[in-house]
Amino acid sequence: MSVRVRRVHEAPEPDDGVRVLVDRLWPRGLAKEAAQVDEWPKALTPSTELRRWYHADGGSYEEFRERYEAELAAPEAAELLDHVRELAAKGPVTLLTASKDTGHSHAAVLARLLAG
């Protein structure tokens, strides 16, 4: 199973496989054609409240990860997570985010869950 995280603003690469945008909001200044996004499961993204807490209030990444994983246990999010896991079982999946620090983002949490 191949899952990787990339910034959505980077040019698509041939080995990206299925490109899944994992941000709730469409990235500013990016044309949909340029992004070449195959899927955009908005319900798989962190809630607005959690996102604001983490970015605006300076929450710790570990606490963010725990809260986000709890959100992913909700039925709709869990179903979407299973869907992306099925995609990854068939071939490469690239999780796309506008986050500048992909290693400490919700996309990294998703990648870890999908790989494990």
The string of pLDDT tens digits covering residues 28-59 is 999 988 899 999 999 999 999 998 898 886 77
Output the CA torsion 104→109→111→116 (10° steps).
Answer: 130
d(Cα 96, Cα 10) in Å, to the nearest integer? 9
Residue ranges of the chain with per-residue pLDDT less than 70: 1, 57
Number of domains the chain is built from: 1
Provide the pairing of β-strand 3-7 with 18-21: unpaired
pTM of the model: 0.93
Q: Give residue 17's domain range.
A: 3-115
Predicted local distance difference test score (pLDDT) of residue 102: 92
